[in-house]
Amino acid sequence: MSPVAEEMLANFLNQLKYEKRASIHTVKSYQRDIERLSGYCKEKLILNWAEIKQADVRAHIAGRHRKGMGSKSLQRELSAIRSFYTFLLKNGLAESNPAQHIKAPKQARTLPKTLDVDQINGLLDAGASSPLEIRDLAMFELFYSSGLRLSELSSLDLVDLDLSDRSLLVRSGKGGKSRILPIGGKAVTAINNWLQERAKMTAIDNVALFVTTKGPRLGQRSIELRLSQWCKKKGIDQHIHPHMLRHSFASHLLESSQDLRAVQELLGHSNISTTQIYTHLDFQHLAEIYDKAHPRARKKPE
């Protein structure tokens, strides 16, 4: 690029740093992303930013994608380029923003990891031998029974449960939406066992359902650590995180009921396309069974 073009970039980065008060990390990130575009321009003998066309930005991003750059990284690079050209436009140094309508390639959607029914039974039937384990078992049963998010389970209060009706109210769901969920019989039993122990641990005016030994509400990170410790103590080698219980709930329910709308409501998804990923899980499971069982599914060795 020409010395004038390099000066424009330097001025943009100074504006980010001193006027926009962007962090050093952000400034360096923008600098790297735009310098990559500058490298493309040098290869194409483009000397000034105003000469870059939409086709150039698209070709640059496509080349980065071919080199293995992921969708999120490319989205960030496009965002940096758009911001730079917004700066150039405001200062009369460009006539258009060539990155304005260019989108990064879509990220391949990864399927959530789930446990099969036997693994769930092994996890939840391991038995509880202390007050803390009784609490933990109640949490894990509730995760799987009602398909809760980690944040939703952590924020549950005593008044949110109606054990006689076997239901609970999620007040702080994603997007601020509330929903009523059923509670399975085994989870009800585990919660009743925990409530007896809870009364010995905390003050009567404490509203939190799940508390620490000292009384305060159990936080999300602590719940994750308790699940990890539970697995180690019970001899479960697989790394299991709380959302795997939610994913397993959704997958098993959809596999049995085939009712996508009902699963959407139970999970609290605002868009059914989010729930549809579990249909892919179900098909993947069926495909694996097919490959193992069908006599003509597998290739014979050559």
Convert the pLDDT of each residue in 9-21 to its tens digit.
Answer: 999 999 999 998 8
CA dist 139 and 242 (Å) reads 10
Point out the residues that are catalytic.
Answer: 149, 174, 243, 246, 269, 278
Q: Tell me what pLDDT residue 267 has.
A: 87
What are the beta bridge partners of residue 181?
168
What are the beta bridge partners of residue 28?
none
* DSSP-based three-state secondary structure for 74: helix
Which segments of the chain are extended strands (E)?
161-162, 167-170, 179-182
Name the residue with higher pLDDT: 259 or 85: 85
Q: Tell me what pLDDT residue 258 has.
A: 81
Which pTM does this prediction carry? 0.60
The string of pLDDT tens digits covering residues 36-63 is: 999 999 999 999 999 999 999 999 999 9
> Percent of the chain at pLDDT above 90?
54
Domain boundaries, the chain: 3-90, 117-292
Average pLDDT over residues 256-272: 83
Topology at the third CATH level for domain 3-90: DNA polymerase; domain 1 (1.10.150)
Topology at the third CATH level for domain 117-292: hpI Integrase; Chain A (1.10.443)
The string of pLDDT tens digits covering residues 238-251 is: 889 999 999 999 88
Name the residue with higher pLDDT: 127 or 172: 127
Give the strand pairing for 161-162 and 179-182: unpaired
